Structure 1
Amino acid sequence: MNTGTLTEAILEFPDNRLLIDLCGEYDRNLTDIETRTGVQILRRGNFLAVHGTPEAQAEATEVLRALYERLEQGREVSRGEIDRQFRMGDDSGPDDQLEMFQGGKVEIKTRKKLIEPRTEAQKAYVRALFENEMAFGIGPAGTGKTYLAVAVGVNMLINGEVDKIILSRPAVEAGEKLGYLPGDMKEKVDPYMQPLYDALNDFLPGKQLAKMIEEKTVEIAPLAFMRGRTLSNAFVVLDEAQNATSMQMKMFLTRLGEGSRMVITGDRTQVDLPRGMPSGLADAERLLNAIPKISFNYFTSKDVVRHPLVAAIIEAYEKDAEQG
C-alpha cells in the first residue's frame, strides 16, 4: 500500500438525487470504492471529500465522476458497473471498427437491460460476436462467455438480424440417468439447460420469453437434438462445448446455415467426458484456428465477474495444476 502524503479532493455533484444513487444504499458504493483504492470518502451536502494518497485519490475521483456521468445519462450504477469502471476505465474514445458501437462504447441492448462488457477480454469477445459468423469463447466459469453470447443473440433477434435463437448444451451429466428421471424428454433435460433459461430471463420479459419458446422463436435443446438439422437465419449457441465429443462438435458446426451465427463456449478445465475420450472443443481449436471469419477469444481468472472469491478459487486450482 502506498504510504505517501495524504491529500483531500473535493468533488461537487449538483443533483442530490443522483448523488444518493451514486453513494448507494447505506453508502455501499462508496465503501466499495474505498476498499479498492484505500481512500476515505466523506459526504458533505452535495460534496464528496476524498482523502488519500495522490495516486489513490486520482483513481477514486475518476471513478466517482464516471459513475455520476452515467447516472446523468439515465443509467443505473450497480456493483457490477463499479467493477467494470475499475477494470476498464473510460472506454469512450474514438473507434470506427464497428459503426454500431458509436463513440467507442461496446453495449448490447436487450428488452430488459443494457449489457456492457466489464473487462477488455469481454469487450473483444462481444466485438467478435458481432463481426464473425462463428465465434469461440474459451475460459473458466464466471467470465461471461455464455451470458454475453445470449445477450448478443437477443439483440440480433429484436433487431431483425436473425429469425430465431437456438441454445444448446451436451447433456453429458444426464447420460445414463435420463431414463430414470420422471417426466417427458423436455422435463428430463430442462435441469441441464437451466443456465440458458436464466440468461434469457435476464434479457427478455417473462411473458414474451414464454411466447417465443412456445412459437419456437427461442429453442433450448440438448446437443443430440441438433442432428440432421440445417440452422438458417438463426443465432445458435453451444454452451459447455468441452463436453461435446469430436463427432458431436463436427455435427454441430456443420449445421450452420445461410444467415446464421454460431457461438461455441467452453472451459477446457472442466471436461466431463469419459476418461480417454477427447474433447471436441480441443479438436475444433486445433483444426479451425486458421480459418477466416472464425474467431477464438480466451478468458482467464482475471476476467471472472462473479464473486471475487470465484476468481481466487480458479487461480488456486490453476496454480495447483501447473505445479502438478
Structure 2
Amino acid sequence: MAQPKKPAVQAATPRARVELEFEQPHLLGPLFGEFDRNLVAIEDRLGVYIAARGAKVQIEGDPEAAARAREVLVGLYNRLDEGQDIDQGMVEAIIAMSNQPTLDGIISEEVAQAPKVMIRTRKKTIVPRSKTQAEYMEALNRDEMIFALGPAGTGKTYVAVAQAVQQLIGGSVDRLILSRPAVEAGERLGFLPGDMKDKVDPYLRPLYDALYDMLPMEQVERRLASGEIEIAPIAFMRGRTLSDAFIILDEAQNTTPQQMKMFLTRFGMRSRMVICGDPHQTDLPPGVKSGLNDAVEKLEGIGKLSMIRFGAGDVVRHPLVGKIVEAYEGPGS
C-alpha cells in the first residue's frame, strides 16, 4: 500500500533589515510626502515595510526589495538636496530605475546621484524619469536629428519641447517650430466649424499644452505673435528651409512616406530636428504605409542621427498606463 507523501517543507524567505539616517531633517517632510504617501507608494510597489523615526528610516523585507527601497529613498533625498521638487511621478520613475539593487553599500549611480543631464526652462526643471529618458536627453544635447519612438506617456514630445524652449531661451536657436499631421479621424476638416486655424488647432493642442508648462503664458503668446514660436500642421512646412531652428514633428506615425521625406528635407543649417511617434499606433487609412516606419527603415545607422526607442517600462504616467501598453503590445495583439 502506497504511503501518503509528506508535504514539502518550504524554506523560509530570507528577510533583510536596512537602516538609513538622513543628515538634513528639514528635507524629510517632502521626502516622505504628505501623510507619508511616498513611503506608502514604495511599500506598495516593492512589498517592504518602512518605519521612520526622526531622521532614521528602517526598511524590512525581501533583500532585493529592501535594497531597491533604499536606493529609491536615497535617490529622492539627493534630488531634494539639489533643490529639485519630487512628486508621485518622480517616485514611480525612481522605483522603475532601481533595478540593479545591492546590499553591499554600493548604490546604483543612476538612482542615487544627481542626474547628469537636466533641462531648465522658465517654469520647470526636467530630469530623466527613466533610463531611456536619460539617453534621450543626452541625444537631444548631442545630435542634430533624433527619432523618438515608442508608446504614449513616455515623455517623447514633452522632453523635446523642454529642450527646444531651453535652446530658444539660451539663444542657440532663433525659432521653435512645432508640427503635427492633421489626420482626419471620423470627421473631414472641411466640415468642421470655423476658419482653417479653428479646424487644425484641436490637432495641435498637445503642443500648446507642453509649451504652457515650460513658459509663462504671456511669453508663449508674445513669441507666437512674433514668429519665434510657430505651431502648424505638417502641410505648412512644404517649400521652406528651416535654419537656426529647433523643429519638432509630433505624431509622426501619421505621416505618409511622401510627407516625411518633405519634412526631413526642410532641415537647414544650425538646426535641430526631433521626430516623435509610435510606430505601432497609426491613424492612417488601411494599406497606407507610415512615413515614420519608412524613415526608420531607410535612415537607421546614419551618423549624427539617433534612434531612441521607448517601451512600456518607460511610461511615466499612471502605472496602469504602462500595464495597458504592455497588454496591447503583448502576444496576440
Output the TM-score relative to the length of structure 2. Answer: 0.87
- Alpha-carbon separation, structure 1, partners of 2:133 and 2:71: 22
> Is residue 293 from structure 1 mapped to residue 293 from structure 2 by the alignment?
no
Match of 2:252 among 220, 228, 241: 241
Contact 1:5 1:54 in 2 (8 A): yes
Shift of residue 235, structure 1, vs aligned partner: 0.4
Q: What's the counterpart of residue 312 of structure 1? A: 323
Contact 1:171 1:222 in 2 (8 A): yes
Contact 1:3 1:53 in 2 (8 A): no
- Alpha-carbon separation, structure 2, partners of 1:262 and 1:289: 16
Shift of residue 103, structure 1, vs aligned partner: 7.9
Structure 2 counterpart SS, 1:51: strand
Contact 1:133 1:293 in 2 (8 A): yes
Shift of residue 47, structure 1, vs aligned partner: 2.6
Amino acid at match of 2:322: A
- Per-residue Cα deviation, 1:114-156 (whole angstroms, up to 9, x for no partner): 1112222222122222221111111111111111111111111
Amino acid at match of 2:83: G
- Alpha-carbon separation, structure 2, partners of 1:237 and 1:175: 26
Contact 2:97 2:110 in 1 (8 A): no
- Alpha-carbon separation, structure 2, partners of 1:315 and 1:123: 21
Amino acid at match of 1:316: A
Match of 1:75 among 84, 89, 92: 84
Q: Which runs of 5+ in 1 are unaligned?
A: 94-101
> Is residue 36 from structure 1 mapped to residue 45 from structure 2 by the alignment?
yes
- Alpha-carbon separation, structure 1, partners of 2:115 and 2:54: 35
> Is residue 196 from structure 1 mapped to residue 207 from structure 2 by the alignment?
yes
Distance 1:270 1:54, change over 3 A: closer
Shift of residue 263, structure 1, vs aligned partner: 0.7
Distance 1:3 1:303, change over 3 A: farther
Match of 1:108 among 119, 122, 127: 119
Structure 2 counterpart SS, 1:74: coil
Amino acid at match of 2:200: V
Q: What's the counterpart of residue 22 of structure 2? A: 13
Q: How does 1:224-235 map to 2 (within 5 A)?
A: 224-235=235-246
- Alpha-carbon separation, structure 1, partners of 2:186 and 2:324: 28
Q: Which runs of 5+ in 2 are unaligned?
A: 1-10, 99-107
- Alpha-carbon separation, structure 2, partners of 1:103 and 1:279: 39
> Is residue 51 from structure 1 mapped to residue 60 from structure 2 by the alignment?
yes
Q: What's the counterpart of residue 283 of structure 1? A: 294
- Per-residue Cα deviation, 1:203-254 (whole angstroms, up to 9, x for no partner): 1111111111111111110011111111110000011111111111111111
| Worse overlay, 114-123 or 57-66 | 57-66
- Per-residue Cα deviation, 1:6-53 (whole angstroms, up to 9, x for no partner): 444443334333111111011100001111221111222333232223
Structure 1 counterpart SS, 2:280: coil
Shift of residue 80, structure 1, vs aligned partner: 2.0
Q: What's the counterpart of residue 85 of structure 1? A: 94
Q: What's the counterpart of residue 259 of structure 1? A: 270
- Alpha-carbon separation, structure 2, partners of 1:249 and 1:287: 12
Distance 1:85 1:3, change over 3 A: farther
Structure 1 counterpart SS, 2:74: helix
- Alpha-carbon separation, structure 2, partners of 1:312 and 1:175: 28
Q: What's the counterpart of residue 149 of structure 1? A: 160
Match of 1:171 among 167, 170, 182: 182
Contact 2:82 2:114 in 1 (8 A): no
Distance 1:136 1:4, change over 3 A: same
> Is residue 302 from structure 1 mapped to residue 313 from structure 2 by the alignment?
yes
Contact 1:132 1:294 in 2 (8 A): yes
| Worse overlay, 206-215 or 4-13 | 4-13
- Per-residue Cα deviation, 1:40-73 (whole angstroms, up to 9, x for no partner): 1122233323222333222222221222222222
Q: What's the counterpart of residue 219 of structure 1? A: 230
Contact 1:189 1:222 in 2 (8 A): yes
Contact 2:185 2:283 in 1 (8 A): no
- Alpha-carbon separation, structure 1, partners of 2:276 and 2:213: 19
Distance 1:7 1:285, change over 3 A: closer
Shift of residue 159, structure 1, vs aligned partner: 1.4
Output the TM-score relative to the length of structure 1. Answer: 0.90
Amino acid at match of 2:85: E
What is the alpha-carbon root mean square deviation over aligned residues?
2.2
| Worse overlay, 69-78 or 102-111 | 102-111
